[in-house]
Amino acid sequence: MAEQHTPRSLIVSLYGAYGRLPDGAPFPVAELIRLLAVLGVDAPSVRSSVSRLKRRGLLLPRRTAEGAAGYALSEDARMLLDDGDRRIYARTEPALADGWVLAVFSVPEAERHKRHLLRSRLARLGFGTAAPGVWIAPARLFEETRHTLERLELSSYVDLFRGEHLGFAATAEAVSRWWDLPSIAKLHEEFLDVHEPVLRAWSAGRRPTPEEAYRAYLPALDSWRRLPYADPVLPLELLPENWPGARSAEVFLALHELLHARGGEFVRA
C-alpha cells in the first residue's frame, strides 16, 4: 500500500527537520510552497494547512528580514518538536530496569469530553492500557507526558507514578495485553517495505543531489516520526521474536545520516 503524506504532516516534518533556526526566523510562505511542491503538494493545500496549524497555535505569522510574509514556530511547537526528537532520533536501547510510568486519571461526568481527550492523547504518547483508567508506558516518557498534559490543561485530572512491575503475570505476557503488538509490528514492516529499498539504493550508488536527498528524506521522516509514538519501544526481552522495530529504527537513522544534511542544502538554496 502506498504511503499517505498529508500536506499538514509534511509541513510539520519540514519544520522539525529544517525550521528550528536559532533566531526564530520564519519560513517565507513562498519557500514553503516551493519545498512542498517538489513533493507533489499544491499551493492552495500548503496555504490551507498552514492556516490550520496557525489556528492550533503552532505557527505564528512573521515577516522575514526582507519583509516577506512567513511563519515561525510557536514556543508550544518548539517544545513538541524537541520532545519528539528524543523519540525520533533515539539511539539508546531501552532496559527493563528503567521501570514504568503509570497515569491514573479520573474525570467528572460533566467533563466527559476531557476523558476522551485524555485517552486519545495518552494513546498517542505510546501508553498502553493496564486497566480501566490506568495507563502505562516506559518511564523515560514521563517528561514528555508531563509537558503534554500541562500544555493541554489536563494535568489536574491525572496522577503520574513511577515504578516497576512486580507481578503476577510475566511482564512479557502483560505487555501483550497492554499494547496491540501485531499492529505495531505491521507499521514497522510497512515502513521497511517502502524505505529500506531507498537506503539500499543510495548506499550503493552515487551521491544524491540536494533535491534528491530532500525528496527521499522528508517522506521518510514524515513516516517514521509517527512510529516511536505508536510503538513505546519496549525492552527487547518483552517483545516477540524477530521484532521489526529495531531494524526499522536502524534504517531511518541510516537514512538520516545519509540524506538529512544533503537535503538541507536544497532547503537553503
**pLDDT tens per residue, range 30-77:** 999 999 999 999 999 999 999 999 999 999 999 988 888 899 999 989
Cβ atoms 221, 166 nearer than 8 A: no
Place of cell 537513522: 253
pLDDT at 1 over 60: no
**pLDDT tens per residue, range 84-141:** 898 899 877 788 888 999 999 888 777 878 888 888 889 989 999 998 889 999 999 9
Long-range contacts of 243-251 (CB under 8 A, 24+ apart): 243/185, 244/185, 244/188, 244/189, 244/192, 245/184, 245/185, 245/188, 247/188, 247/192, 248/188, 248/189, 248/191, 248/192, 248/224, 249/90, 251/191, 251/192, 251/195, 251/196, 251/199
The pLDDT value given to residue 2: 47
The pLDDT value given to residue 111: 80
Model pTM? Answer: 0.86
Q: What is the mean pLDDT of residues 196-224?
A: 93
